[in-house]
Amino acid sequence: MGLLSMAKAKASTITTTNTTNSNYHSTMGFLLVFFPQENNTNTNNNHTKLSFTSPNTKSHTLKTTNSNNIILSKTQFTISICALLIFFTFLIFTLSTFEPTISNITPTHHHSFIHKPTTKFFTKSKKTHNLFSHALQRMGTLYRRGTCSMNNVVICHVAEETSERDFRLFLRLIHRFGVTALNDVVFLFSSPTTSVSFGRVIHDENNSFSSLVSRHTELARSESSFNFTRFFSNKSEMVEPVWGKRIRSDFSDGGGELVVSYGSVVSFDATELDPENSLGGFLERVPLSLRRWACYPMLLGRVRRNFKHVMLVDVKNTLILKDPFGRVRNRSPESVFLFNKKNSDKTRSTQRRVNSGVIIGGARGVRRLCNAVLVEIVRAAMQQHKKNSVSDSVILSQLVGNQFMWKSNNNVNFVTATESIPEASSLVGHNSGTATSLLNHAIIQRGSSNCEIISYFINKEICSSVIDSSSVYKDC
């Protein structure tokens, strides 16, 4: 009995052991489907770890794996959506920043010396001038982008008391008499409000100029004081303007073709170029006639490599009828040409006064002069008890007389004209029927008297042409 019991117990033990080993290998084979071996060196370790795996562990592992897959899928989907949103945002932003197109108008008739001219005009929306783009480095307003880069720039400051009528006459004359054919024009306003009010006038006169060139180019010849041939240039010599956003140009493909060429028309207000109002701490009231000297260094410093000559002009008291750079074109970049100011006092003054309303010269010389005038305005304001008695004409006259300072430090060559700028009242009398005497001068002063008569004669001369009065200017 004892031997039989021991044999049965031993057989039972062997059977249990075989059953256990069979279950072990079955479980391990099932788990290896989900946890494959990474390398041969970890085989024993994997067998050891898996030998302790239970059915509950298998269920937990399956749930964790499925959860990870779902999270991974959701993450990839979210990333894809974000990438698409970023792409479409960038695409829309890129398309919205394109410049307006330039329309081409091919004239049907032209002079024999013009080879297939193409009239190009910068088109903008007529609703409001606020739709215009920035002129330079997110500042200013670009009313009209010129066809090419110009060598000269005319900076015109518009005083607070300038009327809309005076401003329109100034702008119309520089268009008609070719000032914008060879130069860029920059208007400097005292405030954003003034810029908005005069922006409409600039927009209207730009449209009138475009119509004027188009009409005269199509008709080729007409009885008019407007000489449209001065607006033609060789296309192969053109360079893209400095103002506004860069666009793709085809200047190099023009060969010897002549196309209509004109400069840009832009504006800035004093709060953009002089945001801190540099003279505000030294003067109780800072008119634009003084604040402009703090604006010039900022503007001229940003375009110092783009222009050879610069003109500073007062819109309220000055009219430009011809190219103003004739006297300085062949001089050095440090030269500055000045006019004498007509002495209206009954007493004779020993010191010659300089007209601060018109300054012409090389870009380098004008920039140095503006820096010096700004420093002297501050010095004069600190020395005087009356905070509003500073005159830029007096300061400019004193600086010109100090030749030693200029030669030793700033190297500016002053050239002072022997004559003063003629006043319009002395050129046109009450009984005169034409404005011929006015048109013979490059620059004239409006003067304080006979302003209405001067405007009448100039408008009469402009509107004498049937083409101009019928299809270009509404006030003819």
Strand 265-269 vs strand 152-157: parallel, antiparallel, or unpaired? unpaired
Q: Which position has the higher pLDDT, 198 or 59?
A: 198
431 lies in the same domain as 377: yes
pLDDT, residue 226, reads 77
pLDDT, residue 239, reads 85
* pTM of the shown model: 0.71
With 70 as the cut, is the pLDDT of residue 180 above it? yes
pLDDT, residue 256, reads 65
With 50 as the cut, is the pLDDT of residue 150 above it? yes
Mean pLDDT over residues 143-147, rounded? 92
186 lies in the same domain as 306: yes
Rounded CA-CA distance 152/469 in Å is: 31
Within a domain: 218? yes
With 50 as the cut, is the pLDDT of residue 30 above it? no
Output the average pLDDT for the chain: 74
pLDDT, residue 206, reads 93
Within a domain: 319? yes
DSSP per-residue codes, 332-392: -TTEEEEEEPP--SSS--SSPPEEEEEEEEEHHHHHHHHHHHHHHHHHHHHH-SSTT---H
Domain hosting 315: range is 104-343+352-471
Rounded CA-CA distance 60/28 in Å is: 16
- Check if the beta carbon of residue 223 is closer than 8 Å to that of residue 300: no
Within a domain: 14? no
pLDDT, residue 225, reads 66
Q: Which of 57, 76, 95 is the last residue of a domain?
A: 95
89 lies in the same domain as 160: no
Spatial strand order of the sheet with 354-362 comes to 141-144, 265-269, 183-189, 152-157, 309-314, 354-362, 335-340, 413-420
Rounded CA-CA distance 51/443 in Å is: 105
Within a domain: 258? yes
Q: Which position has the higher pLDDT, 267 or 59?
A: 267
pLDDT, residue 460, reads 80
pLDDT, residue 247, reads 75
Task: For the chain, give the percent of residues with pLDDT over 70.
Answer: 64
pLDDT, residue 50, reads 38
Give the number of domains in the chain. Answer: 2
Strand 309-314 vs strand 152-157: parallel, antiparallel, or unpaired? parallel
Please state the φ and ψ torsions of residue 255, each to the nearest 5 degrees: 65, -130
pLDDT, residue 108, reads 32
pLDDT, residue 94, reads 52
pLDDT, residue 360, reads 97
213 lies in the same domain as 76: no
With 60 as the cut, is the pLDDT of residue 338 above it? yes
155 lies in the same domain as 86: no
Rounded to 10 degrees, the C-alpha dihedral 355/358/360/364 comes to 80
Within a domain: 17? no
- Check if the beta carbon of residue 117 is closer than 8 Å to that of residue 260: yes
Rounded CA-CA distance 414/297 in Å is: 19
pLDDT tens-digit profile of 292-325? 999 999 999 999 999 999 999 999 999 998 889 9
Q: Which two tokens stand for residue 437?
A: 């005497």
90 lies in the same domain as 110: no
pLDDT tens-digit profile of 375-409? 999 999 888 766 667 899 999 999 888 876 666 55
98 DSSP 8-state letter: P
pLDDT, residue 409, reads 59
With 60 as the cut, is the pLDDT of residue 160 above it? yes
Q: Which position has the higher pLDDT, 333 or 475?
A: 333
pLDDT tens-digit profile of 410-447? 688 888 888 889 887 777 654 454 556 677 788 999 87
| CATH at residue 289 | 3.90.550.10
Q: Which of 95, 114, 138 is the last residue of a domain?
A: 95
Return the minimum-mean-pLDDT range out of 134-143, 159-168, 395-404.
395-404
pLDDT tens-digit profile of 73-98? 778 778 878 777 776 665 665 554 44
pLDDT, residue 343, reads 66
pLDDT tens-digit profile of 212-262? 888 877 765 555 667 788 888 877 678 889 999 877 655 555 556 778 889
pLDDT, residue 170, reads 95
452 lies in the same domain as 336: yes
Mean pLDDT over residues 343-347, rounded? 51
Mean pLDDT over residues 104-132, rounded? 38
Rounded to 10 degrees, the C-alpha dihedral 361/366/372/378 comes to 110
243 lies in the same domain as 362: yes
Q: Which two tokens stand for residue 68?
A: 């990870």
Within a domain: 11? no
Return the minimum-mean-pLDDT range out of 90-99, 152-161, 265-274, 429-438.
90-99
Rounded CA-CA distance 209/153 in Å is: 19
pLDDT band at 156 (very low <50, low <70, confident <90, very high): very high
Within a domain: 12? no
Within a domain: 7? no
pLDDT, residue 455, reads 80
54 lies in the same domain as 161: no
Mean pLDDT over residues 85-114, rounded? 45
- Check if the beta carbon of residue 172 is closer than 8 Å to that of residue 279: no
